[in-house]
Structure 1
Amino acid sequence: MRQISPELKNHISGDLASMVTCWILTRRDGVRLAFTTHDKAIDFENLTFRPTNSFLPSAISSTNSLNVDNLAVHALLSSDGLTEKDIRAGLFDHGRISIFQVNWQDLSQGKLFIRSGWLGEFTLKDQNFTVEIRGLTQKLQQTIGDVYSPECRADLGGGDCHVNMEEFSVLGVITGGVGPDSFEDISRTEVDGWYDYGLVRFLRGANAGHRTEVRSFTGGNFILYDMPPEPMMVGDIYLVFAGCDKRSESCKNKFRNFQNYQGETAIPGTDSLYNYPGLK
């Protein structure tokens, strides 16, 4: 049950209510953005909620079961912190959101809590975006614990991996072959596939600070999984980390780290179901 002040409850029960919706976005870098459907800015809880008329929440679905609660928000891209560049750069990925209502004529009455959760999948189209909001029950849908697998479950360079990524990273400069999701560095002499599934981080240029994964690396040519938010240019400086395909052979020969391999190489495959006595 939602707890609200008696004053706010009486106001909502009246014939004429002056309720507006407010929402707070907290990006993964800690920046907080506050918006309201009111036509004027509202100062509430040490934040200034800027007016926006493009906030369109869908119907909220909540149940008393363990099903995932659903809510989607539709809004226009604007210069008030909701830019396509920041969304494509991943600054809002897994960010926090809190939605509530207040009486704009008397903010001392408190707020009516609506929903809080995490930002899910973004959809961009024609200067608009739609984002799914995942509630607390989303956490109950996640697998807790490890699952047996012939592939490694650890993240390269993570706590269970123990690979020193400084030994498998290099600085580079884009020298040509620039496309929407690709570039070339003629100084790269590593074997083909060395940076497949690796991570590239731009240090200088329009995409400084942006990170993305490498789809493939061949003869100094990088093809990325995602197109950076800004066009890449010759002379941009980047830092690239070698990639891991999760196979035991790569762990042993490429990273010399088989003692920390987090997979089970001897797990029987599905073909073992047919290897019963008398088959051969």
Structure 2
Amino acid sequence: MRTIPPALRAKLDSGVTTLAQAWKLTRRDGVVAGFTDHDRDLVIDGVIYRAGTGFGASEATSRFDLSVDGGDIAGALDDDTLCEADLAAGRYDAAEIESWLVDWNDVSLKALTARSTLGEVRREGTAFTAELRGPADRLSQESGRLYIAKCGADLGDTRCRADLGNPAWRGRGTVTALAGTSIMMAEGLGSFADGLFSAGRLDWSSGGNAGLAVEVKQHRLVAGEVRLTLWQAMPEPIVAGEAFIVTVGCDKSFATCRDRFGNTNNFRGFPRIPGNDFVMSYPTPGTVADAGGGASLFDPVPKEMG
């Protein structure tokens, strides 16, 4: 239920209003930005809501069932407020949005009309349109534990408990050359085994991408040089001399958990669960399953056929 201040309600009932829409955007890193469709900036609770950004909102939809509420906001990209590089870098992914109806003559008269998160952002030239997703969107997201052969934990989290600060699993490197947009040669990692950082995380500590992270697709030793292939291109071009920190990767298999990390007590998968091949299989002559005797499919040494 929305709470509307009595003074604002009286203005709404009078039919004569001085209203504007305002949006407060809070990124996951704590950065806050404000925008309004009014023709001048508004200061509300210490936050500057900037005008002149072309911000406007579509009609919002709301339902009584558990369907996801939605709407759109549109505006212009501006390096001082909302720039394309930050959007491409993912800094605004899943940002929280508060939508306010405010009296621009007296900004203390305001009503919160919606809370949402930033969804898909579509860019065209210097303009953008962003999808707003209501709280019911969380109900459509996958949660809980899955019964799969591979581990369901993230490497180093509270369920995995692997210590990623271990120097054997963490390295500092510097870009020496580029072999493609997302392929680079690096120094400082020559002591690490081939493939150790595949599926790992690379955090940039200098250069245009400083503060951003990306997953490593492949870590190879090629003719004595270290080659790292990233899963996606970075928002800013990678330049030789830029520094980074890279941490070990994990393919979430039981063998890797056992052999690389010695962490089988915290393995969060079910390595012996039957897969699709087992479900679709059937008995054939000459196999253990057809021979009787109750042999386990997972015995390290199958029983001899009688």
Give the TM-score, by structure 2 length: 0.84
Contact 2:173 2:187 in 1 (8 A): no
User: How many angstroms apart in 2 are the aligned matches of 1:234 and 1:222?
Assistant: 13
Q: Who is 1:72 aligned against? A: 72
Secondary structure at the aligned position of 1:86 is classed as: helix
Distance 1:268 1:62, change over 3 A: same
Q: What secondary structure does 1:162 align onto?
A: coil
Task: Evaluate the alpha carbon distance shift between residue 121 and residue 215 of structure 1 in structure 2; reply closer, same or farther with a 3 A threshold.
Answer: farther
> Aligned residue for 2:197?
195
1:180 maps to what in 2?
A: 181
CA pair 277-222 structure 1, distance change in 2 beyond 3 A: closer
Fraction of identical pairs, as percent: 32
Aligned with residue 219 of structure 2, among 217, 220, 227? 217
Report if the CA contact (8 A) 1:179-1:232 is conserved: no
Aligned length: 279
Q: Is the 8 A contact 2:94 2:117 kept in 1?
A: yes
TM-score, with length taken from structure 1: 0.91
| RMSD (Å) for aligned C-alpha atoms | 2.1
Take 1:84 and 1:53, find their aligned partners in 2: how far apart are those partners?
Answer: 14
The residue type paired with residue 118 of structure 1 is T
Q: Distance in 2 between the 1:7 and 1:113 partners?
A: 15
Question: What amino acid maps onto 2:230 in structure 1?
Answer: L
Write out per-residue CA displacement over residues 91-139 of structure 1, whole angstroms, 9 at most, x where no aligned residue: 222221101111112334x213221122223333322233222221122
How is 1:48-67 mapped onto 2 (pairs within 5 angstroms)?
A: 48-67=48-67
Q: Find the aligned partners of 1:70 and 1:192 in 2 and give their Cα distance.
A: 47
**3-12 vs 194-203, greater mean Cα deviation:** 3-12
How do 1:122-133 and structure 2 match up within 5 A?
122-133=121-132
Aligned to 2:38: 38
**Superposition map of 1:132-171 within 5 A:** 132-167=131-166, 168-171=169-172
Deviation at 1:217, TM superposition (A): 2.1
Secondary structure of the structure 2 residue equivalent to 1:204? coil
Q: Which residue identity lines up with residue 260 of structure 1 in the other structure? A: N
The residue number in structure 2 matching 1:4 is 4
Equivalent residues of 2:175, 2:240 under 8 A apart: yes
Which has the greater radius of gyration? Answer: 2
The 1:196–1:129 alpha-carbon spacing in structure 2 relative to 1, beyond 3 Å, is farther
CA shift at 1:206, angstroms? 2.1
Q: CA deviation at 1:40?
A: 1.0
Shift of 1:254: 2.1
- After superposition, give the CA deviation of every residue in 1:198-223 in whole Å (9 maximum; x if it has no partner): 11011122222111111222232222
